[in-house]
């Protein structure tokens, strides 16, 4: 089901806002606005009371049966705990293990911190909705969640792009590597990725903040995604939808282009390596990052196709929810299973050996 708003003049010339609830696959223009389908309210009430801000009602997954709430919420809870534990272990391992004080692992802990923040901005509210039936979210809280979700998502894209540049320098320009990849340069690159991503969503969030909403606006989503909030507004949604599309295009395709160009040069360089050991080491170095990039952009592509292909609303909502947990849950698994140094450091933390029983008997 989808919630559609439109403005119609009544016989007295007063502007009215009409809300229609129906199936997204139906042709809206052919549907008469009957008393059974539509609810008409004064446009002056669109922003709710002058003394209070609108409240958002998160619908969640509309067709999800109530008896499935508990199993689905436990799945989300399990993955959320896995994200917290896995990424925290990587953070601790890199900080306390001197062997991991290298540029590659510096960018890895940035990615782990982002994964924790990214999922924490959305998953707790989703769990509250499914487990406790807490569908309501305050006006300011909703926009804060929207800003944090999109900022951290942007940050992840930029950090993955920076990591691709690092690998390009390490493999294609090894003689320049000590000069180019200094600790100061690494810190500047990471800070630029974070700062750019924190600034990019601000225009869209601020303009959406000033849109008109009913006193209780229904958001057909599990959290305050930008597009879902825009579609819940009584205002004209075209400018905001276009702005969101432009920001998404910049955030998605520029880092992806950087990654593809970096790996094109890396591949060309690797194929010229005559040593089988050197070739294997180069592929091993890049494979983990490439898997993470593939996972991140695959989840974005699924969410985009679900929106553009006019698929059922439930599929669109679920694809966004999966995007919120898929990459963060796979990142620690990929980096720990495919990286011996990280795996050894985490094993050292979780299973410390007794000094009195180490060594040969």
Q: What is 95-129 written as a DSSP string?
A: HH-GGG-SHHHHHHHHHHHHHHHHHHTTHHHHHHH
Residue 344's pLDDT is what? 83
Residue 214's pLDDT is what? 87
Tokens, residue 98: 């001197």
H/E stretch holding 91 reads: helix 69-96
Q: What is 294-310 written as a DSSP string?
A: HHHHHHHHHHHHHHHTT
Query: Mean pLDDT, to the nearest integer, of 27-44?
Result: 36
pTM for this predicted structure: 0.77
Tell me the sheet residues that pair with 15.
Answer: 9
Band the pLDDT of 278: cuts 50, 70, 90.
low
How far apart, in whole angstroms, are the C-alpha atoms of residue 300 and residue 13?
45
C-alpha closest to that of 161 among 188, 181, 189:
189
C-alpha closest to that of 146 among 99, 189, 98, 209:
209
Longest CA span, the chain: 97
Contact 216, 54 (CB under 8 A): yes
Quote the distance between the C-alpha of residue 43 and its chain's center: 34
Tell me what percent of the chain is helix, strand and coil, each rounded to the nearest 5: 65, 10, 25
Predicted confidence (pLDDT) per residue in 107-136, tens digit = 989 999 999 999 999 999 988 888 888 889
pLDDT at 173 over 80: yes
How far apart, in whole angstroms, are the C-alpha atoms of residue 334 and residue 44?
53
How far apart, in whole angstroms, are the C-alpha atoms of residue 156 and residue 296?
9
Complete domains list, the chain, with CATH? 2-43 (no CATH), 55-347 (1.20.1070.10)
pLDDT at 288 over 80: no
Band the pLDDT of 44: cuts 50, 70, 90.
very low
Strands 216-219 and 55-58: parallel
How far apart, in whole angstroms, are the C-alpha atoms of residue 310 and residue 324?
21
Band the pLDDT of 18: cuts 50, 70, 90.
very low
State in Å, rounded, how far the first CA of the chain is from the last one. 69
Measured CA to CA in angstroms, residue 98 lies from 6, 105, 161, 341, 344 at distances of 61, 11, 25, 11, 12
Band the pLDDT of 104: cuts 50, 70, 90.
confident
Contact 208, 201 (CB under 8 A): no
pLDDT at 67 over 50: yes
Query: Across all residues in the chain, what is the average pLDDT?
Result: 78
Predicted confidence (pLDDT) per residue in 299-351, tens digit = 777 777 766 667 777 777 887 787 788 888 888 888 776 778 888 888 888 88
Measured CA to CA in angstroms, residue 32 lies from 10, 140, 270, 305 at distances of 15, 36, 63, 30
């Amino acid at each position: 089901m989808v919630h559609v708003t439109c403005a119609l003049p009544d016989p007295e010339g007063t502007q009215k806002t009409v809300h229609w609830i129906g199936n997204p696959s139906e042709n809206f223009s052919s549907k008469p606005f009957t008393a059974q389908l539509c609810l008409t309210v004064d446009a002056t009430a669109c922003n709710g009371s002058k003394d209070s801000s609108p409240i958002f009602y998160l619908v969640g997954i509309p067709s999800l049966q109530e008896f499935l709430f508990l199993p689905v919420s436990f799945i989300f809870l399990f993955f959320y705990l896995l994200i917290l534990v896995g990424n925290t272990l990587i953070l601790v391992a890199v900080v306390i293990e001197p062997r991991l004080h290298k540029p590659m692992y510096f960018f890895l802990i940035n990615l782990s911190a982002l994964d924790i923040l990214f999922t924490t901005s959305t998953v707790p509210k989703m769990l509250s909705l499914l487990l406790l039936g807490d569908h309501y979210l305050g006006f300011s809280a909703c926009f804060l969640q929207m800003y944090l979700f999109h900022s951290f998502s942007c940050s992840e894209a930029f950090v993955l792009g920076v990591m691709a540049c690092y690998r390009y320098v390490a493999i294609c320009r090894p003689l320049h590597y000590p000069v180019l990849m200094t600790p100061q340069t690494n810190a500047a690159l990471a800070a630029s990725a974070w700062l750019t991503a924190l600034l990019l969503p601000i225009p869209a969030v601020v303009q959406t903040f000033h849109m008109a909403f009913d006193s209780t606006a229904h958001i057909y989503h599990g959290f305050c995604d930008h597009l879902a909030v825009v579609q819940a507004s009584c205002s004209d949604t075209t400018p905001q939808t276009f702005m969101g599309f432009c920001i998404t295009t910049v955030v998605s395709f520029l880092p992806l282009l950087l990654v593809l160009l970096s790996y094109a040069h890396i591949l060309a360089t690797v194929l010229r390596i005559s040593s089988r050991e050197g070739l294997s080491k180069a592929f091993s170095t890049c494979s983990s990052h490439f898997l993470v990039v593939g996972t991140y952009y695959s989840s974005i592509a699924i969410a985009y196709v679900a929106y553009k292909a006019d698929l059922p609303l439930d599929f669109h909502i679920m694809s966004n929810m999966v995007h919120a947990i898929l990459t963060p849950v796979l990142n620690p698994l990929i980096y720990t299973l495919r990286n011996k140094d990280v795996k050894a450091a985490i094993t050292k933390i979780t299973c410390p050996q007794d000094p009195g029983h180490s060594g040969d008997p």
